[in-house]
Structure 1
Amino acid sequence: MTATTPTRTNAGTGTMLDTSREPGVHRVPLTRVYRFELVKVVSQWRTRLLLLVCWIVPGLFVAAVSQQSTLPTDTLFGRWMHATGWAGPLVMLGFAGIWALPLLTSVVAGDVFASEDRLGTWRHLLVAVRSPRRIFAAKALASLTVILLLVAGLAVSGTVGGLVTVGHRPLVGLDGRLLTAGDAAGRVALAWLCALAPTLALAAIGLLGSVVLGRSPMGLLLPALVALATQLAQMLPLPVAARLALPGYAFTAWNGLFTGPAQTGPLVIGVLVGLVWAVTATALAYLLLLRRDFTSLADDGPGRRAVTVGVLPLAGLLAVTVLAVQTATGATGSGIEQDKVQRSVAAAFAHLYRLQTEQLNRPDVTEAQLKTSATCDKGSTRADPEGPGNDWRCVVSWHLPGVEAVGTAVYQLDVTADGRFVADGDGPKEVNGYFLVRTPAGDAPNPLWQFDGTVELLPTTPKG
């Protein structure tokens, strides 16, 4: 891009003015600037390497793990990677929300403006384009394009690896219900789509850090640091309103898509909060770029004003969203209560019991016939049965048609602060005491030995 008219500056503030709107000045189209910025980003060796990794490595990883005898049972849906190819992309989504997506947004969005400071090319770019607004829009869109390509690579590669290795088979949900392969495919796609909201929030924070901190490496690390702080906060017993107001909560809330009925309330809130953070951080970055003094070579961003222009508005946004979520939902405490745990465990057990019945070629029963219930306590009898912890103990009871005796099974539960739990069978051995069960077709994993579930954190009304 070349220019024939120099850029004009404000004599009082030194900030760059948009001269493309003045008579006689040639206006550079946004599409042209966007293509130029996209080529700049993609031409970097690290961007090309990331694209290659995201489109190849997840598929190879899922295919390799799916063929191993030991599965990542501590990862959500990891225990089902032998059973269906749709478990692989969900395992990848859990990993991506914790590590991959924060790092990808840091590398791409966190450096898009800072690279101009390091190379000293701001004046050349402004003379060529003559519009700081158009430069910001082009850089933001170029970063967004690359990030979307990276996310698409993670999703598509993980899905292809799972389907090619294991196949297009039904998936067991977090309530023990068997989802058809088509239903599982739709929910997996929706889960990855919802994960874009917190990804955009981190990308916007990266743009803000790149503008505010200039050539400082802290701008490059800002999205990863925010994601790490969010993950640490998620591990704490925060009130429900504070948890749902975190910008990265949608990385966890997609779990609710795999229950029946789907727990869409927390997911919708998480997506909206992520989008609000994305819009706010992008707007802050835009305003700060327009106010910057590009005539001074020593000026590479707000510098010490980063706290007032970047941190304080986002801290205020967090406070406002916490108050808004609290008012809209009426949620209090941790959201993990005795009756919710009991309903979740009983529902998952009833569905998985039917799956085990099918494996053993026994007469089919319905959930209504089983009349499954659960009695759960936490810690000692003096402790209040609420909140996260690994000291939950549940006794599940059920009835079989034509049998007077009531069946019982014991489970030890580890409930995390985000509502996810792992139920570990503690007898009787005929029901949940062994990892494998003998079926007419040979040994198969026992679905009642261990199973994952989730507790709805928002207030619920039991159905009759």
Structure 2
Amino acid sequence: MTATVAPAQDSGARRVPVTRCYRFELVKLVSQWRIRLLVLACWIAPALFVAAVSQQSTLPVDTLFGRWMHASGWAGPLVLLGFAGTWALPLLTSVVAGDVFASEDRLGTWRHLLVAVRSPRRVFAAKTLASLTVLLVLVVGLAASSSVGGIVAVGDHPLVGYDGHLLTPSDAAVKVLLAWACVLAPTLALAGIGLLGSVALGRSPMGLLLPALFALGMQVVQMMPIPVAVRLALPGYAFIAWNGLFTDPVQLTPLFIGTVVSLVWAVTATGLAYLLFLRRDFTDLGYDGSGRRAVTAGVLPLAGLVAATVAVVTATGTATGSGIEQDKVQRSVATAFAHLYRMQTEQLHRPDVTEAQLKATATCNKGSVRVAAVGPGNDWRCVVTWHLPDVEATGQAIYQLDVTPDGRFVADGDGPKEVNGYFLVRTPTGDAPNPLWQFDGNVDLLSTSKG
């Protein structure tokens, strides 16, 4: 009796705690030269990039906040955030989470690891936590390095928000930090997909590429004129939903939906990877992934998750169609114009006016009354009208708009020259960039048409 019980107690006592497994897996990851190189690059390269671009005469005006990199050091980390959400974070996730299980297949070390740890559950938990820790270090490095580079190169100056209102340096710093924190949720979703691919596809290189390919597919879908409910139900939208933090008032509903959807995807994909890992036969040294199991336990559940999230967002949302409607565009253009007009007034040392005194309004269409003024396109045309105190004449300015499917628009000034027809304005201290010549704006896809 004693001889039978003792080995069981011994076997249970020798199970390695999750904390020790976690430290072991973390050391294994950090000891890889490519991970060390990525950490070094994420903590140094962004500062150099932002500092170099901020000193150039030509700025990346096609990127959100790119036109303000000369004016504020807080624009740089937001420009890099847009790039990171599109390219850097999916690639980093592929290298880290997409290879954390597949590397053991290539090296043939599963049997040794399981004999040492004696618990597949602990192995999965340790590898997952280690990969997430490395990803967190990389994201923090990108945010910290780009912020330092922008502040050192340009300075801690006020930042022009997404709708033209001015943010104080302290407010801009807080919102930049929040914006970087918001992309952790979609990064976790990609990490879950990477873990699932690494477990299901074994040593196949497709597991390593899966997060990057999935992110690229989400970007392509976001560029298409799809219904707003479908747009918000995909985890890729969370990479751009942080834009709403820089409007006044802030647009929190799309950000909240995008974050929740991303977290649901992260939990679901990681849970599927966990179930596949526990059912795997580790005695097969030639294991190369199970295509059928990857479809039934991976692709089909995630496809069902897309359908479920679309149904939930559709049932709880208020916007229909693309979410881009005439009243919303007119309201957004008028709001941004009023904020930037005040900035131009300060540049020219004219008497200050408020947005309420200006009473700016916009009349927008898509080039003809026969074309419905809804949906994205580069054929939007707006006439902005405003009033100055004690002045009987009414001011007017024309803008050509390019509205993208995700609600962002770029307004190009089309006259008069004194207001928005030239990229410079003559101030008492010399020529300065004209804030009304070209500006970015955002249409709240979930707001009601009437405001």
TM-score, with structure 1 as normaliser: 0.94
Tell me the SS of whatever aligns to 1:261.
coil
Alignment of 1:331-350 (within 5 A): 331-350=319-338
Partner of 1:430: 418
Measure the CA separation in 2 of the matches of 1:21 and 1:400: 85
Tell me the SS of whatever aligns to 1:421.
strand
The letter of the residue matching 2:145 is: S
Measure the CA separation in 1 of the matches of 2:9 and 2:296: 32
Tell me the SS of whatever aligns to 1:382.
coil
Q: What displacement does 1:380 show?
A: 2.5
RMSD across aligned positions (CA): 1.3
Q: What displacement does 1:379 show?
A: 3.3
168 and 392 in structure 1: CA distance in 2 versus 1, 3 angstrom threshold: same
Tell me the SS of whatever aligns to 2:235.
coil
Partner of 1:230: 218
Select 2:182's aligned residue among 185, 190, 194: 194
Alignment of 1:31-42 (within 5 A): 31-42=19-30
Structure 1: which 5+ runs fail to align? 1-18
Measure the CA separation in 2 of the matches of 1:254 and 1:330: 20
Pairs aligned (count): 445
Tell me the SS of whatever aligns to 1:376.
strand
The letter of the residue matching 1:376 is: C
Measure the CA separation in 2 of the matches of 1:193 and 1:256: 14
**Kept in 2: contact 1:20–1:131 (CA 8 A):** no
Select 1:72's aligned residue among 35, 47, 60: 60
**Kept in 1: contact 2:102–2:198 (CA 8 A):** yes
Alignment of 1:110-129 (within 5 A): 110-129=98-117
Partner of 1:204: 192
Tell me the SS of whatever aligns to 1:298.
coil
**Kept in 2: contact 1:411–1:423 (CA 8 A):** yes
Select 1:368's aligned residue among 338, 356, 359: 356
Select 2:164's aligned residue among 176, 193, 199: 176
The letter of the residue matching 2:223 is: M
**Kept in 2: contact 1:292–1:301 (CA 8 A):** no
Query: What does the per-residue CA deviation read over 1:264-296, in whole Å, with 9 as the maximum and x for residues that have no partner?
Result: 110000000000000000000001000001122
Partner of 1:283: 271
Query: What does the per-residue CA deviation read over 1:371-425, in whole Å, with 9 as the maximum and x for residues that have no partner?
Result: 1000000132211100000000000000011111100000000000000000000
The letter of the residue matching 2:339 is: H
Select 2:134's aligned residue among 122, 146, 150: 146
**Kept in 1: contact 2:328–2:449 (CA 8 A):** no
Q: What displacement does 1:24 show?
A: 4.8
Q: What displacement does 1:459 show?
A: 3.2
**Kept in 2: contact 1:20–1:130 (CA 8 A):** no
Measure the CA separation in 1 of the matches of 2:289 and 2:447: 45
Alignment of 1:42-441 (within 5 A): 42-441=30-429
The letter of the residue matching 1:350 is: A
Query: What does the per-residue CA deviation read over 1:56-108, in whole Å, with 9 as the maximum and x for residues that have no partner?
Result: 11100000010001100000000000000000000000000000000000000
Structure 2: which 5+ runs fail to align? 1-6
The letter of the residue matching 1:198 is: P
Measure the CA separation in 1 of the matches of 2:121 and 2:318: 41
Partner of 2:3: none
134 and 437 in structure 1: CA distance in 2 versus 1, 3 angstrom threshold: same
**Kept in 1: contact 2:318–2:448 (CA 8 A):** no
Q: What displacement does 1:462 show?
A: 4.0
Runs in 1 of length 4+ with deviation above 3 angstroms? 19-25
24 and 372 in structure 1: CA distance in 2 versus 1, 3 angstrom threshold: closer
Measure the CA separation in 2 of the matches of 1:54 and 1:285: 28
Q: What displacement does 1:304 show?
A: 3.3
Identity of aligned residues (%): 78
24 and 427 in structure 1: CA distance in 2 versus 1, 3 angstrom threshold: closer
35 and 23 in structure 1: CA distance in 2 versus 1, 3 angstrom threshold: closer
Query: What does the per-residue CA deviation read over 1:209-256, in whole Å, with 9 as the maximum and x for residues that have no partner?
Result: 000000000000000000000000000001011000111111111111
Measure the CA separation in 1 of the matches of 2:112 and 2:420: 69
Tell me the SS of whatever aligns to 1:249.
helix
The letter of the residue matching 1:247 is: P
Measure the CA separation in 1 of the matches of 2:66 and 2:223: 20
**Kept in 2: contact 1:342–1:375 (CA 8 A):** yes
Measure the CA separation in 1 of the matches of 2:70 and 2:296: 51
Measure the CA separation in 2 of the matches of 1:381 and 1:218: 50
Partner of 1:459: 447
Partner of 1:14: none
